[in-house]
Amino acid sequence: MTIPKSSTGIYHVVLGAINEGGVFRKRNDYKKFMEITKMYKESSGIRLLGYSLTPLVVHLVVRDNKNKVMEFLDLIMETYTAYYSKEYFSKDVFHNQKKIKAIDNYETFKNTFKHIHKFGENSLRRFQIYDFDKKDEFLDGDYVLSALGVDNEQSKNEMNNISVMETSENYKVRMNEMEYFAEEKKTMRIRRAEKFMKSFLEENNIRITNLKDDEYYNDKLRLIRAFRRETDLSYRDIGEILGMSHTSIIRLWKIAHERDITSNLS
């Protein structure tokens, strides 16, 4: 992916959820995402200037003077996906595509904050209580606030004013485009597979978490065999849905095949 060059080093990044379950399912997920973001922004030298977290779309405003924004995003997505997989038994979190736009002027800078501070868990409250002496554990707000006013109070008031302003129609169109993630063929296959798995589990009165237990081992084999017989998913696709490696799926499918375990057997 080619990253647009920013004369200011500031970028607006949008990450999209790959399914309707969303990136965040409970309160602790937001906290975990921010902790991961903090860890990698510190190690990569990225500055986090603003954010908005919603279940289906994540907005980050970052400053990158070391050309590490892609590495930063990949690390966040990889680490959060590992956490999500343990929590929800699925690696199906982020859309493969990342949207990155350069912020080269004050008008775009202002419009970006107008938009992101109207939705989800966002950085506005952190700006309102920002202390230049103590800093904030997540937000590098000094850079933003120093651009908005000559003193702490004036800059915070200006951020509040910007955040309540209506976004222009042209910018709304741009944001709609950034927040739209077209479904890839793989995504569509996985959506169909998730519906298939949900139906299988409901019919057999099984919870997805049960599949981790030894007493449901045969049910796991039946599900994998059913996936291979009745869907177009690869071993790797099945592994992503079940939170397992594709080699483990191949091994279990062979066992199911040898035992002739089908979706109709109990």
In degrees, to the nearest 5, what angle opens at C-alpha 78 toward C-alphas 76 and 80?
A: 65
Q: Give the tens place of pLDDT for each residue, 32-89.
A: 999 999 999 999 999 999 999 999 999 999 999 999 999 999 999 999 999 998 898 7
Q: Which two tokens stand for residue 103?
A: 């912020």
Higher pLDDT, 198 or 117: 117
| Assessment of whether the complete model's pTM goes beyond 0.75 | no
Q: Which domains does the chain have, with CATH numbers?
A: 10-179 (3.30.70.1290), 185-259 (no CATH)
Residue with more model confidence, 143 or 18: 143
Percent of residues, the chain, with pLDDT higher than 70: 95
pLDDT value at 266 more than 50: no
CA distance 83 to 120: 21
Beta bridge partners of 60: 13, 51
The 8-class DSSP code of residue 2 comes to P
The arithmetic mean of pLDDT across residues 175-196, rounded, is 78
Q: What pLDDT is stored for residue 37 in this prediction?
A: 98
pLDDT for 262 equals 52
Helix, strand or coil, per DSSP, at residue 16: strand
pLDDT of residue 183: 65
DSSP alpha helix (H) spans, the chain: 27-44, 69-88, 106-116, 124-128, 141-148, 152-164, 169-179, 185-203, 217-230, 235-242, 246-259
Average pLDDT over residues 92-100: 85
- Quick one: average pLDDT of 147-170? 90
Q: Residue 4: exposed, middle, or buried by beta-carbon count in 10 A (0-12, 13-18, 19+)? A: exposed
Q: Which of 245, 227, 243 is nearest to 189 (CA)?
A: 227
Residue 265 scores a pLDDT above 50: no
Q: Which residue has the higher pLDDT, 96 or 197?
A: 197
Residue whose entry in the numeric block shows the structure tokens 């008008």: 107
